[in-house]
Amino acid sequence: MKDPMNPGTSRPAQKHDETFKRHAVELSLRGDRTSKQIAAELGISSWTLCQWRKLYGPSVRGTGSVPPTMDEKDEEIRQLRAEVMRMREREIVLKKSLGILSETPERGMPGSKR
């Protein structure tokens, strides 16, 4: 915004802390208002808000700051639960094999020299 007293000057750039920037990004990701509306309410340019979204917004598969849908979240949860089950099964198998390998051979087994 130009100063009416000095037509050749513009106002100095505002300094916003990281908390303010993250809050602005959070507001813009909710989806109830456009980025332009939010930027106007906060007194910043829509370009500035766009830059903050690139810095502080979530990044999904390299596509920028588009948050995942509920279906994508549900699919990820399903995949993670399946992975946890596979890991638990591996843990059980490893514990059993460790128990078998750590047993001492009994007397009378062929090949033992006790």
Question: How far is 97 from 101, CA to CA, in rounded Å?
Answer: 6
Q: How confident is the model at residue 109, as a pLDDT?
A: 59
Q: Is the model's pLDDT at 1 over the cut of 50?
A: no
Q: What is the mean pLDDT of the chain?
A: 79
Q: How confident is the model at residue 35, as a pLDDT?
A: 86
Q: Is the model's pLDDT at 104 over the cut of 80?
A: no
Q: Which of 71, 57, 70, 62 is nearest to 28 (CA)?
A: 57
Q: Which of 39, 81, 75, 45 is nearest to 60 (CA)?
A: 75
Q: Which of 96, 31, 90, 33 is nearest to 66 (CA)?
A: 31
Per DSSP, which regions of 27-102 are E strands?
A: none
Q: Is the model's pLDDT at 76 over the cut of 90?
A: yes
Q: How confident is the model at residue 60, as a pLDDT?
A: 46
What torsion, rounded to 10 degrees, do the Cα atoms 42, 48, 49, 50 define?
A: 160
